[in-house]
Amino acid sequence: MSRDLLVRPVRDDERPDVLTVIRQAYAEFEPSLTAPEWKRMSGNLAGIVARGAAGVLTAAYAEGLAVGTATYLPPGPREYNRVPQEWAVVRGMAVVPAWRGRGVGRALLIDCLDRARSDAAPTVGLHTAAIFHAARALYEDAGFVQQREFEHLGLRFCIYALRLQTQRLS
């Protein structure tokens, strides 16, 4: 990981840059979806970074550029209903292809887990497509355990959970 990597909340004027990160990170999956499914997925992802969206939108910055992003949702009432409301949630994790393998995703995940611990969340949940192999490996390496699957946009998605009792990444 680059020592110059900084993970912090995104300012409103930086949201377009973060949307570019998401578009670059997810572009490789477009061929796996039909045109209408891709349009819906792109819209869903854009909604995560839109001004006023739920949660704490964070980005990883290196060399003055946003190179990754994740959104943290604290425990409590929310529209996201794939996991129990008492859990915290990680959404929209994305790393631009040129920065993969440098610890960006791990740094973003650590930031979200630290936020969850600060919020006294008992568990952190997330979902990811089964075809997102690198993301699944990151989550499983961090101790997340697959709970169940569901179909969405013509893809198989996996729900993961991490109990926070004493788990700590470093």
**Number of domains present in the structure of the chain:** 1
Let me know if residue 52 belongs to a domain: yes
Range of the domain at 11: 6-163
Give CA–CA dist 154/157, Å, rounded: 9
- CATH number (domain holding residue 83): 3.40.630.30
pTM: 0.91
Q: Measured between alpha carbons, how far is residue 82 from residues 41, 78, 79, 89 in Å?
A: 16, 11, 9, 9
Half-sphere exposure for 104 (CA within 13 Å, toward CB): 26
Q: Which residues of the chain have pLDDT under 50?
A: 1
Mean pLDDT of the chain: 92
- Per residue in 48-88, pLDDT tens? 999 999 999 999 999 999 999 999 999 999 999 999 999 99
